[in-house]
Amino acid sequence: MKKLFLLLFLCFILSPLRGEGFRFALLTDLHLNSDSLAYNDLKRSVDQINKIGKIDFVIVSGDVTEEGDRASLKKVKFLLDQLKVKYYITSGNHETKWSESGATDFGHTFGSDRFRFEYKGFLFLGFNSGPVLRMADGHVSPQDIVWMKNEMRKVGREKPVIIVTHYPLQDGDVDNWYEVTDAIRPFNVRAVLNGHYHSNRMLAYDGIPGIINRSNLRSKDKVGGYSEYEINSDSILVYEHRIGEAPKKWGGYSLKKNYFSADNSTYKRPDYSVNREYNNVKSKWVIKSDAGIYSSPVVYNDNVYVGDDLGFLSCYSLKDGKKKWRFQTGNRVVGTPAAADGIVVFGSADRNIYGLNAKNGNMLWKFQANEAVLGAVSIADGIAFIGASDRSFRALDIKTGKLKWEYTGLKGYVETRPLIYQGKVIFGAWDNNLYALDQISGKEIWKWNGNLTRMHFSPAAVWPVAANGKVFITDPQRAMTAIDLTSGKTIWRTFQSKVRETIGLSEDYKRVYGKTMQDSVVCFSTEGNLPKQIWATDVKFGYEHAPSMLQEKEGVVFGSTKGGMIFALDAFTGKLLWKHKICNSLINTVVPLNATSCVFTSTSGEIGILSTSASKKK
């Protein structure tokens, strides 16, 4: 049977293509912002395509803006709409990682972040390759993989297919590359077209032909440029077309040659050998949802509450993972909810904040903001505190949804979970600032900037912690900082450990923890006015930049990574207790239940409890 399938596979791969040849242009990595150079580079590409002609359509493969903001997206659309031929567009990480709309403005602006069309016998499919709001590797969502497979099934296995994503479909770029390549392997995929690298390269994704394309930007050259593709009966050829010059062919693939087979056994797959090394760590239960999850779980009254990429807030039994109910909003839920007094509160990219009955999921109230609500929720004294993308931070009564106060002094959107500490509400925004507001009135007490010069350096993803009169944060400039709780002035700031957006606090308030960008976890004292490292541990998790906070419970520090690993350390010595790999995608901030177990969610859709039979060694 296997030989018959292979024979049929080779027959349709090697069969000659029918129909006339055609040409199309591919634009990628436009990175439009307030910089006039990027705008001019795109305008010149559009003008040249229109002037020269002979282009049947245009594909745009992501990173069309620098910061994912609505104004820049509209500028891109204004220029692309001037094309005399139809264009098809999908998003890149700069539209999904930094996005005040929760990566929804792209679809609102262009109609969708997917495209599907057929042209002269070929099927073209383009889709988002993430990540959404969290700093991590690229990730193709479960729902996009299902959509892609269904579209290819509709046309059958003989029709040639060209796939378009922003990220290259390989290890190190897309964490679930193997799920994508395995999904497309049974079909007649002729090439996968990408951007992201800002250069021309020929690659293979588990044997499947891949072509990476130059950026539209001029970079260090005097002019920008784009790619042109020629498809004829024999080949798919790619040319670089610099502005004002003749196109130059630099690569291509045969349309008659077989580059890959149905067998994937020789290709690299994620390594789970660490689970054999620490074989006392097991999953008590794990379920797989049908959507990506960017929200950390909330444990309340023997239930687990989780928001997902399809806009659902679901309630699961803590005991066995059985789903009890789910409530659907109008768009994705990325901010971590909070629960108290029988009510669960959360925000949605549909611009609403919701209060639900925690027991049955019935909506008690809804508060409408002016933009997407991406912030995580903190609850104190019956009041929910949450930031949104309309440049406002709000305090709401959790029983009624009534607005207690609103702070409107933000210059960027909020995604973090606010810290409620000694009468202050402390949080960062994507405007380079950390804010401290009065908990009762919402009035600004202080604002910390730290001389940060780029929006991307904002302390906006970290969940702040506080002890001994100090607020502790880490930021993408790779620094850990202690800030005076009363005045907002910097007490100390250190770059020695190359932390990024992850921090945690010990239960006795004496230590703060940070996850570095390469292998290790560090521990600093909360006491004194100088940075004092207590311990550092090489956990060997590799390169790391996921904003998953470190959590201590009963003397054990729990952490997680972008590569699907959860680990545990002794809080006092830093000794590594265990590691366990759940999946190959980002694990959100875990919720420890005790010293030996924690609840987790992942961007690939897993929800579960991990536990170990071994107690922490003294």
Q: What angle do CA 35, 37, 38 make, to 5 degrees?
A: 75
**Would 200 be classed as within a structural domain?**
yes
Which tokens is 563 given?
Answer: 């590569």
State how beta strands 352-357 and 363-368 pair: antiparallel
**Would 35 be classed as within a structural domain?**
yes
> Which one, of 129, 143, 127, 152, lies nearest residue 59 by Cα?
127
In Å, how far are 272, 346, 582 from 182, measured between CA atoms?
19, 36, 20
Residue 453 has pLDDT above 90, yes or no: no
| pLDDT number for residue 220 | 86
- CATH, residue 106: 3.60.21.10
Range of the structural domain that residue 101 is part of: 23-254
Residue 179 has pLDDT above 60, yes or no: yes
Q: What angle do CA 411, 417, 421 make, to 5 degrees?
A: 100
**Would 14 be classed as within a structural domain?**
no
Mean pLDDT of 68-90: 96
Tens of pLDDT, residue by residue over 147-164, are 999 999 999 999 999 999
**Would 119 be classed as within a structural domain?**
yes
Tens of pLDDT, residue by residue over 232-282, are 999 999 999 999 999 999 999 999 999 999 889 999 999 999 999 999 999
Q: How far apart are CA 496 and CA 560, in angstroms?
A: 22
Q: How far apart are CA 130 and CA 422, in angstroms?
A: 38
Residue 6 has pLDDT above 70, yes or no: no
**Would 111 be classed as within a structural domain?**
yes
Mean pLDDT of 504-523: 98
Mean pLDDT of 51-77: 95
State the chain's maximal CA–CA distance in angstroms.
75
Q: Is the peptide bond before 131 cis (omega within 30 degrees of 0)?
A: yes
Q: How far apart are CA 520 and CA 535, in angstroms?
A: 10
Residue 4 has pLDDT above 60, yes or no: no
| pLDDT number for residue 522 | 98
Mean pLDDT of 11-32: 73
Tens of pLDDT, residue by residue over 118-134, are 999 999 999 999 899 89
Query: What percent of the chain shows pLDDT beyond 70?
Result: 96
Tens of pLDDT, residue by residue over 187-217, are 999 999 999 999 999 999 999 999 999 999 9
Residue 19 confidence class, pLDDT cut points 50, 70, 90: very low
> Which one, of 437, 388, 433, lies nearest residue 414 by Cα?
388
Which tokens is 558 given?
Answer: 């729990």
Residue 13 confidence class, pLDDT cut points 50, 70, 90: very low
Residue 21 has pLDDT above 70, yes or no: yes
**Would 582 be classed as within a structural domain?**
no
| pLDDT number for residue 613 | 84
| pLDDT number for residue 130 | 86
| Residue 426 or residue 2, greater confidence | 426
Element (H, E) at 6: helix 2-14
In Å, how far are 89, 137, 454 from 39, measured between CA atoms?
17, 28, 20
Mean pLDDT of 510-538: 97
Mean pLDDT of 292-296: 95
| pLDDT number for residue 351 | 98
Question: 3-state DSSP call for residue 233?
Answer: coil
Total number of domains constituting the chain: 1
**Would 307 be classed as within a structural domain?**
no
Mean pLDDT of 350-355: 98
> Which one, of 456, 496, 480, 491, lies nearest residue 550 by Cα?
480
Mean pLDDT of the chain: 94
Tally of CB atoms within 10 A around 2 = 8
In Å, how far are 17, 122, 124, 362 from 233, measured between CA atoms?
6, 12, 17, 59
**Would 273 be classed as within a structural domain?**
no
Under the phi-then-psi rule, with left for phi > 0, alpha for psi from -120 to 50, and beta for the rest, what region is 469? left
238 touches 213 (CB < 8 A): yes
Q: What angle do CA 281, 282, 286 make, to 5 degrees?
A: 145
| pLDDT number for residue 614 | 59
Tens of pLDDT, residue by residue over 538-582, are 999 999 999 999 999 999 999 999 999 999 999 999 999 999 999
Tens of pLDDT, residue by residue over 403-434, are 999 999 999 999 999 999 999 999 999 999 99
Tens of pLDDT, residue by residue over 297-343, are 999 999 999 999 999 999 999 999 999 999 999 999 999 999 999 99
